[in-house]
Structures are given as C-alpha cells and as structure tokens.
C-alpha cells in the first residue's frame, strides 16, 4: 500500500507540473488563438494510444510480438486481410485460387501506391517474401513462410506461389502481420546499405545471385551483413497501409500520420500517436484526463475503475492467447515429465484467475484457446491437486524438492502470478527464485534457452491450431521460432505435419485433438489460462473503436463525438 501511495503522489505532482506548463504556454501560439476552431479540429483528428510495452520493431521481419503488431498493422497491408471477426477477406490480393495442391494463383489489386509514391506490383510481393526468408535477415517469423518455395511473377498484378507441399493454413499465414508487404525500393535500399556498412565488394544484383545459389560465399556475406540489415526499413517502414510512419522517439512514442493516397477509403483522423506508458496507474490517469484516448491494455485490478468512470469504458474480447509456465525439458530436473506434472498439478489456476486476474481469464484445458479453430473441446480443465503433485514428485529423483529460477517480464500481473506460483511450489520443497526483466530483454533471454522456467503467453494470431501448436511444439521449431523449451516428440511431429497438409477440416480437427492429448500428458509447458482482453477508451473523445481477438486495436471505423 505504501508503494501505491508513493506512485499516486508522484503521478499527481507530474500532472500538476504538466498543467502548470500548459498554463505558462497559453499565449505562445498567436495563430491558434485567432483560429480556435481550426485547432480544435486538428486535435480532434489526433488519436493518442497508451501502450504498456514499447514495440520491438516496426520492420515486419524484425520481431513477432503483439506491441509491434499494433503499429505494423496500421502501416502495412497483407495479401489476405483478416477482419475483426477473424474472417479472411481480400487484401492486396483481390482474389486467389488453389490450382494444384502446391500451387496458388493470386490476382493483385491495381491502383495501390506505397507511402513513398511507388506503385504496388507483384515484384514487391516477391521481394518481401524473399527478404522474409533470407538468412541474413533471420526473421523470427520466417517459420510461417518456409513452405513457400517460389514466388513467380506472372504480370504486374498477378503471381503464382509454389509451396513445398499442400499447406492448409497458407492463407491464414499470409494474413499475419509479419507478412505485410514492403516496397521493393526500400528493400533494395536496405540491402545496399547493409552491403556498404559491411564493406563488401558486392553489388546488390550480385548479392541476390549469391543468395539464390547459397554456399560458402553467401554465408560469409550474410554473416557480415546481418548486424546492419534492417536499419533502412526501421527508419523508413514503407507500406501501403492507411497510416504512414512519421517519427519514433525510442522509449517514448511512435507517431504515424494518415496516408492521403490510401487505397481503402477515407479515414476520420489525421495522426495516431502510440505513447509508451509502462505504469498502469499513470496510463489510466492519462485516459481519464484525456491525455490519451485509448489504453492498449487494462490490467485486471483496474477494470472496474475504467468501467465506473463517467468518461471511460472497457471494450472486451475473448482472446486467442494462452498464458503458460514453460520448462527447459532438456535440463534436469525438468527433463522428467513427472516433475513437470507435479508443478502443473500444484498450481491452483482458479485462484490465479480470481485473485490476480479479477476473473479476467478462463481456466486452461489445453495448449490452445477455445477461440482457436482446432481446440479440443473434449479436454477437461487441468485440476489443482496438491496430493497428486506430491505423488508425481515422489516418483522423481528430486522427491524432496530443489532450487530453481522463474523468469518473468516486468508486467505487474505476471509478477503477481509468479509470486503465487513461488509460494505454492514451496509446499513441495521447490524453492523458486523470481528473476524479472524488461519486456524486450525478457524475450531475448527466453530465446537463449538458458532458463529453468518462465511465464509467457502465446497468441494463435492466425486463429488456426497450426499456429498454436506447430511453432510451439514441433521438433523443427527449436530454431528460435517458438519451441524454446526444446521439446521433441516424433509422434506429435507426425500429427502436426499431417494436419498441415490435409485439406479435410474434419481430419485436421481429429489430428489436432490427438496432438493436444499428447501435450496434456507430456506438459512441455503448463497451460495456465486463456486471456480475456480489454482495452480502455475515453468515450468523450473517440467512438467506434474495435478490438479483435488477437488484441489489435482496429481504427478503421473510428469517429469523434461532436
């Protein structure tokens, strides 16, 4: 309580300082005083969104995280569009047809321009997907598109996409935010910059030829360029979306402005500013006082506060995410499934949902959310059973307990969940030391594979079970794409491979159910709960904001109160 009072006092002093500063500057803008109506109109068109975490990268190939997706979905369009109901619609591709099991034809939209003024063509799609799969770029989202063997440009607005094999979730993957189409111009400029920074005696065309051929010479060039690639795209993320990049102040804000030549219709705003405000109390105070119009995340403790305030409300959405406790399954003692089962059985998920999440979550039964196509409805909730936990642990080499570490990000909710797990594991003699990291640093640490346990969430962004299971648990996904617990099960691999290639939805559901049964038994990660999403909106400032099941704030249809 003392700490909360301290934060509140600091916040009030900060607000008083801001108000004082605004009062002192009241007479500076003479032109604004002469045209007050014009100033009001400009302010009305400026959307300000508060974010708890800073986006990792605006480059679509630079990261695979939700804070970054919030911004990227505004800048870049994808071939296939997924609406707020997760339905697939035409995006930059007006139509598509599967001509053979491993061949798709796409007809592209004409009359589309990039933010830099260049025309959108099939060559931009080819260049974007080639860059996504380039080892030099080393995108963490490359796993989504590795099945694509070739993009064949047929005409300016027509292409053929060849896949390695029949791949059922291809269209869902092409709707993923990391598949946002970049202009070939900025891609070429990015590579040229990296070649120059690496001091290589190569032309751009020679690099592309080396990439096509592979081999030692390409690997040497790729290694030299890897630390420089992406700098141009990060500074100039050139897409075709309704907003274009204006500026970024690291750790503070990202500003986007309306793209006047947008191909998808008029928008009712001028700029969108994403302000990074990590502290929950500060972010909500800004929402209530009008400093921001939307807060990207409302923590469970403050849901009622936002609902009850006369100017604000919460937009709810059942999410596609699953929050889990991960184990390093190759390291002792977590290589023993009974240790993992013991820990999972010792966790009272209902207590977490009620006590930490304020009932803003659903008790987990499997490794993908019920909102995801392919969720196994036959599975029951994972029970809290301390007696069973002791029995599992008694069958291991650490029956009396052990010391371990539990990593978490700087999210207040996650820290509170970790404290609860720490206490309950203590009843088994398992002494878990909690180590807390800033969000970006935490993601980097989780990829290193040096953990004992950590708490994180996975959002099945495409809405398909493949995205929730294959990158998380397939042996081939130990390359950093998702399987950070180094789990391997050949039977599971076979089921997931078969489900990817089947065009029969009934067969896919059966295969995914079998896969989830295996995961419930092996528990490479212990599912905790399924997310219930909520964003805060100041309804006196903005209306018609939408929230999709991924957690992305949709601005397409926003209006402003008169």
How many Å apart are CA 376 and CA 373, to the nearest integer? Answer: 9
How many other β-carbons are positioned within 10 Å of the β-carbon of residue 517?
A: 16
DSSP 78: -
d(CA 163, CA 441): 35
Residues 461 and 415: beta-carbon distance below 8 Å: no
Beta bridge partner(s), residue 554? 546
Bridge partners of residue 276, in order along the sequence = 51
Strands 403-408 and 453-459: parallel
Phi, then psi, of 388 in degrees rounded to 5? -65, -35
Q: Where are the domains of the chain?
A: 56-235, 243-317+533-554, 319-532
Question: Residue 483 CA to chain centroid, in angstroms?
Answer: 16
What is the structure's pLDDT at 33? Answer: 38
Q: Which residues pair with 467 in a beta bridge?
A: none
Give the whole-angstrom CA distance, residue 384 versus residue 326: 18
User: Are the C-beta atoms of residues 113 and 106 closer than 8 Å to each other?
Assistant: no
Whole-number CA gyration radius for the chain: 25
- Three-class DSSP category at 432: strand
Q: At what angle do helices 490-501 and 465-473 cross, to 10 degrees?
A: 150
Tokens of 521: 């038994």
What Cα–Cα distance (Å) separates residue 501 from each residue in 80, 307, 434, 505? Answer: 20, 45, 41, 11
Distance of CA 490 to the CA centre of its chain: 28
Concatenated DSSP letters of 435-485: EE--HHHHHHHHHHT--SEEEEEEE-TTSBHHHHHHHHH-GGGGGTTS-TT
Which residues does residue 323 pair with via DSSP β-bridges, in sequence order? 457, 529
Listed in sequence order, the residues at least 6 apart from 529 whose beta carbon sits closer than 8 Å to its beta carbon are: 322, 323, 349, 352, 353, 357, 361, 362, 363, 364
pLDDT along the chain (562 residues), means of 10: 37 37 38 41 73 94 93 98 93 97 97 98 98 96 94 98 95 96 98 98 97 96 97 96 97 96 92 95 96 93 94 95 96 97 98 93 95 94 96 97 96 93 97 92 86 94 94 88 91 97 94 97 97 95 95 94 88
Backbone angles phi, psi at 248, to 5 degrees: -140, 130
What would the DSSP string read from start to end of 3-22? HHHHHHHHHHHHHHHHHHHH
Third-level CATH fold of 243-317+533-554: D-Maltodextrin-Binding Protein; domain 2 (3.40.190)
Buried-state track 492-511, b at ≥16 Cβ within 10 A, e below 16: bbebbeebbbbeeeeebbbb
Residues 556 and 544 sit within 8 Å (Cβ to Cβ): no
pLDDT number for residue 480: 66
| Model pLDDT, residue 297 | 85
3-state class of 41 per DSSP? helix
Query: What 3-state DSSP class applies to 135?
Result: coil
Quote the tokens at residue 340: 């993992």
Query: Which three-class secondary structure state does DSSP give residue 275?
Result: strand
Handedness of CA 381, 384, 388, 394 (dihedral sign): positive
pLDDT of res. 32: 36
CATH class for the region spanning 56-235: alpha beta
| Structure confidence at residue 179 (pLDDT) | 97
Evaluate whether 427 touches 346 at the Cβ level (below 8 Å).
yes
- Using an 8 Å Cβ cutoff, are 270 and 46 in contact? yes
Give residue for tokens 């047929």: 154
CATH superfamily of 319-532: Dipeptide-binding Protein; Domain 3 (3.10.105.10)
Q: Whose CA is closest to 176, among 467, 457, 443, 477?
A: 467
Give the residue from 130, 179, 181 showing the smallest Cα distance to 152.
Answer: 130
Could you please report the per-residue DSSP string of 131-194?
HHT-TTT--TTGGGTTTEEEEEEEETTEEEEEESS--TTHHHHHTSGGGPPPPHHHHHHHHHHH
Helix or strand (DSSP H, E) at 553: strand 553-554
> Token pair 């399987």 is at which residue?
483
Of the candidates 127, 13, 120, the residue with the CA atom closest to the CA atom of residue 77: 120
Residues constituting the chain: 562
Place of tokens 């500060």: 282
Neighbours of 190 (CB within 10 A): 24
């Amino acid at each position: 309580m003392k700490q909360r009072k301290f934060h509140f006092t600091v916040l009030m002093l900060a607000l008083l300082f801001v108000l004082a500063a605004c009062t002192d500057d009241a007479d500076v803008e003479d032109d604004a005083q002469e045209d007050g109506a014009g100033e009001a109109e400009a302010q009305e068109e400026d959307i300000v969104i508060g974010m708890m975490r800073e986006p990792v990268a605006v480059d679509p190939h630079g990261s695979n995280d939700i804070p970054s997706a919030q911004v990227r979905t505004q800048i870049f369009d994808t071939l296939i569009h997924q609406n707020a109901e997760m339905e697939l619609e035409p995006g930059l591709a007006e139509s598509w047809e599967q001509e053979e099991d491993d061949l798709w034809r796409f007809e592209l939209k004409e009359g589309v321009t990039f933010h830099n003024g260049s025309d959108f063509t099939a060559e931009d799609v080819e260049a974007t997907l080639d860059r996504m799969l380039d080892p030099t770029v080393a995108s963490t989202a490359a796993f989504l598109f590795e099945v694509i063997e070739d993009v064949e440009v047929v005409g300016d607005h027509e292409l053929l996409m060849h896949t390695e094999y029949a791949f059922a979730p291809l269209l869902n993957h092409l709707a993923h935010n990391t598949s946002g189409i970049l202009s070939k111009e900025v891609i070429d400029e990015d590579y040229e910059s990296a070649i120059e920074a690496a001091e290589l005696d190569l032309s751009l065309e020679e690099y592309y030829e080396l990439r096509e051929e592979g081999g030692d010479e390409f690997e040497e060039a790729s290694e030299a360029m890897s630390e420089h690639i992406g700098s141009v795209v990060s500074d100039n993320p050139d897409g075709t979306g309704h907003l274009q990049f204006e500026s970024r102040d690291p750790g503070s804000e990202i500003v986007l402005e309306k793209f006047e030549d947008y191909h998808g219709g008029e928008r009712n705003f001028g700029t969108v500013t994403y302000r990074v405000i990590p502290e929950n109390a500060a972010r909500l105070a800004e929402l209530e006082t009008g400093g921001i119009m939307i807060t990207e995340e409302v923590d469970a403790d403050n849901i009622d506060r936002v609902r009850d305030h006369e100017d604000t409300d919460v937009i709810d959405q059942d999410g596609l995410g699953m929050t889990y406790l991960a184990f390093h399954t190759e390291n002792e003692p977590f290589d023993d499934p009974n240790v993992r089962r013991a820990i999972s059985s010792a966790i009272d998920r209902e207590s977490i949902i009620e006590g930490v999440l304020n009932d803003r979550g659903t008790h987990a039964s499997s490794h993908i959310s019920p909102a995801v196509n392919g969720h196994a409805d036959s599975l029951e909730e994972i029970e809290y059973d301390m007696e069973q936990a002791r029995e599992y642990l008694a069958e291991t080499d650490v029956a009396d307990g052990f010391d371990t570490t539990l990593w978490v990000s700087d999210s207040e909710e996650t820290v509170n969940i970790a404290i609860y797990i720490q206490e309950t594991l203590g009843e088994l003699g398992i002494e878990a030391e909690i180590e807390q990291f800033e969000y970006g640093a935490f993601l980097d640490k989780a990829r290193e594979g040096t953990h004992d346990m950590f708490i994180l969430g996975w959002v099945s962004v495409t809405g398909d079970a493949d995205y929730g299971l294959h990158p998380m648990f397939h042996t081939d996904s130990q390359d950093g794409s998702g399987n950070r617990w180094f789990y391997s099960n050949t039977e599971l691999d076979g089921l997931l491979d078969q489900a990817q290639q089947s065009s029969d939805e009934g067969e896919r559901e059966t295969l995914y159910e079998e896969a989830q049964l295996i995961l419930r038994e092996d528990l490479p990660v212990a599912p905790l709960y399924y997310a219930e999403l909520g964003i805060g909106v100041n309804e006196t400032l903005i209306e018609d904001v939408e929230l999709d099941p991924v957690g992305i704030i949709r601005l397409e249809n926003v209006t402003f109160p008169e």
